Amino acid sequence: ALALSAPTAPPHWEGTALPVLSVRDAARQRNELPFARFPDPVLRLDAHAVTAFDDDLAATAQKLARARRREGAVGLAATQCGIDAQLVVLGDDVYVNPALSSARPVVFDVWRETCLVLPPDVSVETLRFRHVHVQFRDLHGRPRTTTLHGERARAVQHEVDHAHGILIVDHAADLVHSDAFPALARIEAPFHHDRSRRAWRVVE
């Protein structure tokens, strides 16, 4: 007899509503950092620059690195864990107050990106600079500059987007739909035009 499988239902998606933490609060709470899920308002936070380069910052960076490994992420921005700080981890590297600029030769690559804060059926075609300069501070407040290429350039652009409240759906020409979270397009519709314009201003 022929067995017919039932249609697979889309995975259920539940958002979060994390409290906004300072670097100090994040460093001193006992628990590991939580992880935000759309449509958590904290994901739209344009984070403040870090001004105190102290033990709290170092401890928060360590917690963020652990959260990155726990979530299986290439990189993570502090806002994804509810922290109001321009702080990004990418692999073993930490970027404080990162600012991006295009590097020569100016070349764009097309990527198909997903994001852990969004429902798993959401993917967006993005256009990213192949080469980017990153100006940032290290954990001691010393100014640093590095140049990233290819996949790491894409990843740092993705994470710095997060630090400014920008998601991959903002890079889409049209509204993005999700079977796992049907309200996504409705929630984004009033803001999509302005957010898509902002998404291109992150890299100078």
Task: Please identify every residue annotated as catalytic.
Answer: 159
187/196 Cα distance (integer angstroms)? 15
23/50 Cα distance (integer angstroms)? 8
For 168: left if phi > 0, alpha if psi spans -120 to 50, otherwise beta; the answer is alpha
Structure tokens at 77: 């921005």
CB 35 within 8 A of CB 115: no
User: Residue 112's beta-bridge partner residues?
Assistant: 125
178/191 Cα distance (integer angstroms)? 17
